[in-house]
Amino acid sequence: MNTQNRIYVTVSPRVRKALELCAALDGSSSASYAANLLSVSVFQDIERSAVLRDLWTQMEHEAVEKGSWEGQQFSPLEKFQGEGVSKKRGSEVKSWFMAGDHPDDYEQGVDTDVSFNNKKSAYLRSKDVSAEGFGTLMQMFKADAYLNKRLRFSAYVRSEEVENWAGLWMRVDGPEGQTLGFDNMQNRSIKGTTDWQQYEIVLDVPQESVQVAFGILLSGSGQVWLSDVQFNEATSDVSTTNMARAGLEQPQNLDFAG
């Protein structure tokens, strides 16, 4: 059994389901969602398991020796560092990592020239104007400290020539990868060139929550900066921004009037 097959046998049911979803949605409009889910799931499993970390390292070494990964030229992934999921794809921001459906079209790091109120900022930018899909600079952490609470994720964001859209995002995961809450600001996205502005996402963290994932994403060409990231408990009178459960009070535009 080759290394890739050994990894498939070892991974969690969540990753197997993500693999199956990628195969089922290949070529469809939902393929990017499946690819991102798979990317996050795989690296979460690898970080949790010493066996998977060893197998992944072995695969990297084999690919380096051959000069390719599955026949495609690539830049080797950096080793994980620190606690939790850390660096990958040449990350320069400690404890954060890159993901998305086209992460190689984007780059990120700490900007020493651009700051907000003398606080450091991280940047996420397209490598060229033809960048496809989206890239995200993100983290994941255990949900234990926020169970049965309403969690607010806020940050200041600055943008420059964002052609498509950008936004903060946060997702609350339950058992077996179930999405309990999600918001990526697509309904109030950041576009074009904007000065520093505070944005926030508010989600409930139910008792069965396992982890929280969050970050900033960029779709298409442009650049965004992220600074003054904060997490705190929101009171019950603060509305959630949960897109996963958002719905209209009544059906609308049934006569297609515009």
pLDDT at 131: 81
pTM comes to 0.63
Question: Mean of the per-residue pLDDT values for the chain?
Answer: 77
Place of tokens 């900007």: 111
Give the pLDDT confidence score for residue 99 in this predicted structure. 87
Instruction: Give the separation between CA 189 and CA 180, rounded to whole angstroms.
Output: 22
Predicted local confidence at residue 39, as pLDDT: 65
Phi-psi region of 209 (alpha: psi -120 to 50; beta: other; left: phi over 0): beta
Domain ranges of the chain: 1-77, 88-246
pLDDT confidence of residue 20: 64
For the chain, list residues with pLDDT below 70.
1-91, 244-250, 252, 258
242 near 169, Cβ under 8 Å? no
pLDDT at 10: 47
The pLDDT, as a whole number, for residue 102 is: 83
Longest Cα–Cα distance in the chain: 62
Considering the domain delimited by 88-246, tell me its CATH architecture.
Answer: Sandwich (2.60)
